[in-house]
Amino acid sequence: MSTLLLGALLAGAMLAPAEGEPPELTPSERILGRDWDPKPPPPPTIWGLAGAGSWTACEAVDRDARAQLPVAKSTRERSARVAIKIRTTWIGRADACPHAPSVLVLAAHYELTRPRPMPTYSAPDEEFDALAKELRADHTHVRARLRAALAEARRRREPPPPMTYLLMAQLEVAAGDPEAAHEALASAWHHGQVDLRQLELVAGVQALLAGQLERSLQLANRVRARSQGGQLRAAGYLLALSYDRAGAPEVAQRILQSLRTQRLGGGESIIEVLLPMHERLYLTALEHRASGNIADSLRFFAVYLARPEPEAPDRKTAERHVRELQAGRES
């Protein structure tokens, strides 16, 4: 036997514990004790299961989403079947790629602009309550998507995807929070990623909710003078609401009568996406009054007054409308 092999055997014999002695502690046992029971490793994440290929695919989808964001529109201009397919596709991609910021923002856009029809005037109160609950849940979900997109953009040390802060402002006015909407509008202006008319329209709704009627009128008039299509109609509705709240209901009625080519209620128009539910109820009641539908108008004013959100001055204005409608029906 060679000297080298003999030395190795002797060293192993010297290091081995004597018979009856416990084995030497491992490093983890020395630190944590022999009774320490290590936790099993966590299950693999979606990225670990999918491998690098899915990450590459998500990055490609994110680039596609980022290119679409500056020109993204709601699906109201498409057929119902196509609209559902587009919305479902991007929501599915956002669920599959939770770390793709532009995908998250585009999915939030389609979720936020999804039509949410208003119940008819003959619907029971429970249907209006159910819509309010659905809207709150949807707003919470969209807010989570947008915040996740902002967090991922910060982690990557990249600017936020286009439209992120504009969508956040749209979300907050729809949720009835003018202060949060103002903060998001300031961020959208700072990043300069949006069309000025879009920004001014959302700012006009924010001003209306904040009780800044003069600013709301100015912004609505600016958008109305420089827009067409859906934005033009939205500015007209905002102008009517602002004039009504400012004490000029006759002007508001004339504006609404000029907009009667397309009725509210389907949840597809820009103004219905932007307004919180109680303001949608108020505007719907005003529109029915302008159309001469007294019973419908009274019903929507009643549902509006039953909501907890309206503030005292707005309640008084609605109650004045109710008195006038009742007097007109009795005469």
> Residue 84 sits in a domain of what CATH number?
1.25.40
8 occurs within a structural domain: no
Using one digit for the tens of pLDDT, what is the confidence trace for 223-262?
999 888 888 999 999 999 999 999 999 999 999 999 875 6
Classify residue 17: in a domain, yes or no. no
In a domain, 315, yes or no: yes
Determine the pLDDT at residue 43.
Answer: 57
pLDDT single digits (tens) 89-142: 999 999 999 999 999 999 999 999 998 999 998 999 999 999 999 999 999 999
The average pLDDT across 168-188 equals 96
**Residues 270-284: what's their mean pLDDT?**
96
Output the pLDDT for position 18: 54
Looking at the predicted structure, is the pLDDT value of residue 72 above 90?
A: no
- Answer whether residue 257 is part of any domain: yes
Q: Confidence class of residue 75 from pLDDT cuts 50, 70 and 90?
A: very low
Residue 113 within any structural domain of the chain: yes
Task: Report the pLDDT value the prediction gives residue 48, as an integer from 0 to 100.
Answer: 47
For 60-64, 173-177, 238-242, which range has the lowest pLDDT when averaged over its residues?
60-64
For the cut 70, the answer to whether the pLDDT of residue 170 exceeds it is yes
pLDDT for 10 equals 47
Per-residue model confidence (pLDDT) at position 39: 58
Q: Which of 74-78, 185-189, 292-296 has the lowest mean pLDDT?
A: 74-78
* Total domains in the fold of the chain: 1
- Position 21 in a domain: no
Three-class secondary structure assignment of the chain: CCHHHHHHHHHHHHHCCCCCCCCCCCHHHHHHCCCCCCCCCCCCCHHHHHCHHHHHHHHHHHHHHHHHHHHCCCHHHCCHHHHHHHHHHHHHHHHHCCCCHHHHHHHHHHHHCCCCCCCCCCCCHHHHHHHHHHHHHHHHHHHHHHHHHHHHHHHHCCCCCCCHHHHHHHHHHHCCCHHHHHHHHHHHHHHCCCCHHHHHHHHHHHHHHCCCHHHHHHHHHHHHHHCCHHHHHHHHHHHHHHHHHCCCHHHHHHHHHHCCCCCCCCCCCHHHHHCCHHHHHHHHHHHHHHCCCHHHHHHHHHHHHHCCCCCHHHHHHHHHHHHHHHHHHHC
Averaged pLDDT score across all residues of the chain? 85
Domain containing 266 equals: 52-326
Q: What is the mean pLDDT of residues 146-174?
A: 95
Given this model, what pLDDT does residue 139 score?
97
